[in-house]
Amino acid sequence: MESEEFLLVRDLLRSFAARYRVGSADEAKPAGRTAAQDALDALGLGGLRRTAPPAATVQECALLAEEHGAHPLTTSLLGTVLLAPELIRLTGAAAEATASAPRARRGHPTSARGAPGASAGGSPADPGGTPTVALAPDLRFPGVAPSELVAWDSSGADGALCVDAEGTVTRAGLGAPAPTADLLRGVRTAHPGPVVGRLTPDGLRRWQAYALVIVSSELVGAARAFTALSVDYARERRQYGRPIGSFQAVRHLLADATVLVEAGTSAVRYAAWCLDHEPADRALTAARVAKAEVNSSAVEAVYTGMQVFGGIAQTWEHVAHLYLRRVLLGANVLATTADLLPALAEGEAAA
């Protein structure tokens, strides 16, 4: 989209967040969640990555995820608005490529009807309604033909799509709510269903890179916002007749947290740029580096904020633990640093 259009979309999301953000865990009630999700769906953002070519770049989607993460919102932006539509688009593109490719031995084109994952009624990867993404029970990328799944970020979703380690895309049905440490995120059990398509190896790499970038962007947004809240609190909270932000030890803590946030932001935004401009293997490497960096830097930045807030941050009524829970859990979503570093080292050895 044009830069002016993106600014309008971003400002629209900011206005939405100002209205529907929660101030404490007690405000995250079912009725409020439903109203907020309905209002988000009404914004029409689900089409940003669903079309070919997409209406928004990966960089623009990453900035929206960052903005969403900056606020304690109960809505599913990542799962239903950004991730599932991208998966539908990639699966549809793979099916079209298979349908238009010539048969290797017979020398005549393959019809769309005979292509894997294609049907006369349109892309079967698109289940209609509002899907989200399904992950392994530990919230990481699923393995090959997983037998157990959870629908992650499932608020407002009526189905889920899963990509296994070989690029097979299956449709999953939603079950009961599943326990999660993130009090703002909806998670449900999911039941593996029929195969609806297959991603090419290049498409699988792009999907994994995109998912890593979007999740990392939300973590960066949460860490940045909580660090800013901590700075504001340090200016106002007084001890020994002075604002605690005037003490050198507190200043050093907040300066280090700011550096950590900026390092993570730089890595994530570069990875998003790579997805828009670089080959899939290079984009996946950049996305893995970004997630490995943010897994560490976002958690450390939020821990610093908790120290600055002190005892009040440990109370149920304060918003601090909502940010902490989101970042701690997000650092384990899709891939942990322990998962990513060996993959990055293997790639360097192969190069």
Structure-block tokens of residue 294: 């943010």
Choosing from 175, 199, 223, the residue where a domain stops is: 199
Please give the residue range of the domain that contains residue 319.
203-350
151 with 102, same domain: the answer is: yes
Q: Which of 165, 199, 233 is the C-terminal boundary of a domain?
A: 199
Which residue from 282, 245, 289 is spatially nearest to 263, judged by alpha carbons? 289
Q: Report the pLDDT value the prediction gives residue 94, as an integer from 0 to 100.
A: 76
Q: Which CATH number do you get for residue 322?
A: 1.20.140.10
Indicate if 146 and 91 belong to the same structural domain: yes
The total of other beta-carbon atoms located within 10 Å of residue 171's CB is 22
Whole-number pLDDT of residue 93: 82
Report yes or no: 226 and 334 within 8 Å, Cβ to Cβ: no
Q: Are residues 144 and 172 in the same domain?
A: yes
pLDDT tens digits, 254-276: 999 999 999 999 999 999 999 99
Structure tokens at 350: 């192969």
Residue 45 pLDDT exceeds 80: yes
Question: Is residue 34 located within the same domain as residue 81?
Answer: yes
Query: What would the mean pLDDT of 18-25 be, rounded to a whole number?
Result: 96
Kindly report, residue by residue over 188-230, the tens digit of the pLDDT: 999 999 999 999 999 999 999 999 999 999 999 999 999 999 9
Q: Kindly list the distances between the CA atom of residue 319 and the CA atoms of 184, 230, 278, in Å, as whole numbers in the listed order.
A: 11, 12, 39
Q: What is the pLDDT of residue 346?
A: 84
> Is residue 183 domain-shared with residue 215, that is, in the same domain?
no
Q: What is the pLDDT of residues 276-330, one digit of tens each?
A: 999 999 999 999 999 999 999 999 999 999 999 999 999 999 999 999 999 999 9
The 10s digit of each residue's pLDDT in 121-135 is 345 566 678 999 999
H or E segment at 306? helix 280-309
Omega within 30 of 0 (cis) for the link into 201 = no
DSSP β-bridge partners for residue 239: 242
Q: Which run of H or E residues covers position 198?
A: strand 187-198
Cβ contact 117:124 at 8 Å = yes
| Inter-residue contact 135 to 155 (CB < 8 Å) | no
Distance, CA of 313 to chain centre: 26
Quick one: 93 and 220 in the same domain?
Answer: no
The reply to whether 27 and 171 lie within a common domain is yes
Model confidence, pTM: 0.91
Q: What is the DSSP string of 136-173?
A: -TTSB---SS-S-EEEES-TT-SEEEEE-TT-EEEEEE
Whether residues 239 and 147 fall in one domain = no
Taking each helix axis from N to C end, the angle separating 3-20 and 58-69, rounded to the nearest 10 degrees, works out to 20
Do 70 and 178 lie in one domain? The reply is yes
Out of 199, 228, 248, pick the residue that ends a domain.
Answer: 199
What does the pLDDT look like over 150-167, one tens digit per residue? 999 999 999 999 999 999
Percent of the chain with pLDDT over 70: 89
The domain total for the chain is: 2
Q: Which neighbouring-strand residues pair with 188?
A: 151, 177
Predicted local distance difference test score (pLDDT) of residue 111: 31
Domain shared by 184 and 207, yes or no: no
Report the percent of the chain where pLDDT is more than 90: 84
Same domain, yes or no, for 191 and 255?
Answer: no
- Do 77 and 118 lie in a common domain? yes
107: pLDDT confidence band, cut at 50, 70 and 90? very low
